[in-house]
Amino acid sequence: MQNREIAEVFEKIADLLQIKGEAIYRVLAYRRAGESIRALSQRVVQIAEESRLQDIPGVGAAIAAKIDELLSTGKMEFFEILTAEVPETLPDLLRVEGLGPKKVARLWKELGITSIEELETAAKAGKLQKLDGMGSRSEAKILASLEALGKRQYNRHLLDVVQPVAAQLLERLRKIDGAVEAEVAGSLRRYKETIGDLDLVVASDANELVMDEFVQFPEIGRIGGKGPTKTSVELVDGLRVQLWVQSPERFGSTLQYATGSQAHNVKLRELALSKGLSLSEHGFKTDEGDEILCSKETDVYKTLGIGWIPPAMREARGEIEAALEDRLPKLVTVKDLRGELHAHSNWSDGHASIEEMALAARKLGITYLVITDHSRSLGVAGGLSIERLWEQKAEIEQVQEKLGNNIRILHGSEVEILADGSLDYPDEVLEQLDVVFASLHSSLRQPKEKITTRFLSAVENPHVDFIGHLSGRLLGKRDPADLDVDVILNAAAEHGVGLEINSHTDRLDLNDIHARRAVELGVKLAITSDAHRTEHFDLRSFGVGIARRAWVTPESIVNTLPRSKFLKWLKSRN
């Protein structure tokens, strides 16, 4: 059983208990346990085998027993009793904006509504406004939320889609009279792999004016709520945006608050309390009622006596403890990347020539570039026959001669791991390539043992240098393959094979949790653009974002090595 599946059970229990009206802190305990399991880098199955379940934060005796029961029997009596009492589909209603557990419970008990469809029918029939405490406005709002919910295909958006929207909105906000500063916050600032809402913060003493102008922006489709300090809207394309406006002297605390994550903020506020301070977006309040204002975000952390925590780390995964012990890692940045190890050209499915790719890379300060076109069996992507592969080598040598020593172009391949676990080129071909990435693009739905074994045979091949986009997931489109990540990472560590963090925003693969696990196990990583166009080199910032979320330092990333050291590293492998 996957961690995600176990986490979902506990998150559902939390929803059901809350609808049932259970004590809130019991509900929160289940929710926290679910979130905590979701964020684990190790498999719960393994932790259970080692009888260490209660080491998981938020898991005590009661929840540990329920995990054990779930793992050994595939069922949980507590969950079954609960769903016999409260319909299992009710939590779906919580996704409707404006509906929380209390209202969902009333809809169920008083109108017998248990699904989104039934809610829509009842709302259209005007039945909701007849409930006590609900009026026609509430009903209209629910109908509008239902419509928005249906329009959104996916609830979450890819990073490279949201980032330009954010940049454009910020530019417009900065132009408003009285706007001193405008910054992006929320999950985009934390480089979470997908974005639910876009959060923006403006420093201004003219709150009302900024808000009035903001809701007039042409891309805004629907206003969800509007106040002097907080406004939420939905853009015509379905992206939800929240804007906070605070005076400049409170900008730092507001930016910190709006950046989250919520779990990080809760822990930070607990830390504040332990020091006799109350923390909110307005800043600190002492027990005597005096205020400590933070115009800069660093002031928030400084006041608590800890170092500034990079946004990517703010997920309540031990970063506050690390800050308290003064052992925050120095995270990798885009500037640290000296080489690009995974790029395609028009020899396979890329859109630019080798020379164009090399020139674009050189412009970005990249000093070594590995061209890794697809191998022969990947017909849809124009995979290279062995003959074509050698013709390509000749072109690389020509381009190298033409461009000189500012950039070194290496000949690699993204070699398909075939369905039987063998590689798409024979060993005598692989050994002549500078760099070999082994990736999997087909037969991703094989059973776990089979897929894991395929990766293991690739890792054990002495010519393989890196494994590309391990899980094969495409965010919003294709689930990750079912594989035993720990087994593969352990094998990679043993054979000195690197794992890729692929920067394409629909891949981001390894994800942050697996990347962190990889580093724990001593696996080297590569942050790659998997560029198919010259513009794709810019995607590296997203791969770096994932690495930072995984607490990765430059030392763990192979392509931070200066060129000479990288070449030496390659040689040592061959």
Partner DNA sequence: GCCGTTTTCGGCCCGACTGTTTTCAGTCG
Tell me the C-alpha distance between 336 and 18, whole Å. Answer: 47
242 lines the binding site for DNA (CB under 7 A): yes
- Window contacting DNA (CB under 7 A); options: 43-51, 90-98, 480-488, 538-546: 90-98
CB 521 within 8 A of CB 42: no
Of 28, 206, 293, 487, which lies in the binding site for DNA, with binding defined by CB under 7 A? 28
- Window contacting DNA (CB under 7 A); options: 84-92, 137-145, 310-318, 527-535: 137-145
273 lines the binding site for DNA (CB under 7 A): yes
* Residues 45-84 as x/- pattern, contact with DNA by CB under 7 A: ---------x--xxxxxxxx--------------------
Tell me the C-alpha distance between 531 and 542, whole Å. Answer: 13
141 lines the binding site for DNA (CB under 7 A): yes
102 lines the binding site for DNA (CB under 7 A): yes
- Window contacting DNA (CB under 7 A); options: 135-143, 423-431, 453-461, 524-532: 135-143
- Window contacting DNA (CB under 7 A); options: 161-169, 225-233, 555-563, 564-572: 225-233
- Window contacting DNA (CB under 7 A); options: 99-107, 369-377, 440-448, 558-566: 99-107
Question: How far from 149 is each of 121, 152, 287, 314, 404, CA to CA, in Å?
Answer: 15, 5, 44, 29, 55
- Window contacting DNA (CB under 7 A); options: 128-136, 400-408, 465-473, 505-513: 128-136
226 lines the binding site for DNA (CB under 7 A): yes
Question: How far from 189 is each of 108, 163, 260, 545, CA to CA, in Å?
Answer: 38, 10, 9, 9
256 vs 471 by CB, closer to DNA? 256
210 lines the binding site for DNA (CB under 7 A): no
Site for DNA in 149-188 (CB under 7 A): 186
191 vs 455 by CB, closer to DNA? 191
108 vs 347 by CB, closer to DNA? 108
Q: How far apart are the two ends of the chain, measured CA to CA in Å?
A: 38
- Smallest distance from DNA to CB 168, Å: 21
Tell me the C-alpha distance between 497 and 518, whole Å. Answer: 11
- The DSSP result for 503-522, as a single string, is --TTT-BS-HHHHHHHHHTT
- Window contacting DNA (CB under 7 A); options: 131-139, 303-311, 407-415, 550-558: 131-139
- Window contacting DNA (CB under 7 A); options: 41-49, 264-272, 370-378, 528-536: 264-272
- Share of the chain residues as helix, strand and coil, in percent rounded to the nearest 5: 50, 15, 35
Provide the angle, in degrees to the nearest 10, between the axes of the packed helices 24-38 and 3-20: 170
Does 510 sit behind a cis peptide bond, omega within 30 degrees of 0 on the bond before it? yes
Tell me the C-alpha distance between 169 and 185, whole Å. Answer: 13
- Smallest distance from DNA to CB 107, Å: 9
38 lines the binding site for DNA (CB under 7 A): no
What are the φ and ψ backbone dihedral angles of 559, each rounded to 5 degrees?
Answer: -85, 20
- The DSSP result for 280-320, as a single string, is ETTEEEETTS-EE--SSHHHHHHHTTSPPPPGGGTTTSSHH
Q: Residue 83: helix, strand or coil by DSSP?
A: helix
98 vs 426 by CB, closer to DNA? 98
Report H helices in 152-216: 159-174, 186-189, 207-214
90 vs 399 by CB, closer to DNA? 90
99 lines the binding site for DNA (CB under 7 A): yes
170 vs 258 by CB, closer to DNA? 258
Of 6, 9, 16, 33, which lies in the binding site for DNA, with binding defined by CB under 7 A? 33
The amino acid that residue 103 corresponds to is: K
Tell me the C-alpha distance between 392 and 371, whole Å. Answer: 10
Tell me the C-alpha distance between 407 and 390, whole Å. Answer: 21
324 lines the binding site for DNA (CB under 7 A): no
Q: What DSSP character marks residue 405?
A: G
- Smallest distance from DNA to CB 267, Å: 8
Of 35, 281, 297, 434, which lies in the binding site for DNA, with binding defined by CB under 7 A? 281
Tokens of 424: 């798409």
* Interaction site with DNA (CB under 7 A): 23, 25-26, 28-30, 33, 54, 57-64, 94, 96-104, 129, 132-138, 141, 186, 197, 199, 225-232, 240, 242, 258, 260, 262, 265-266, 269-270, 272-274, 278-282, 285
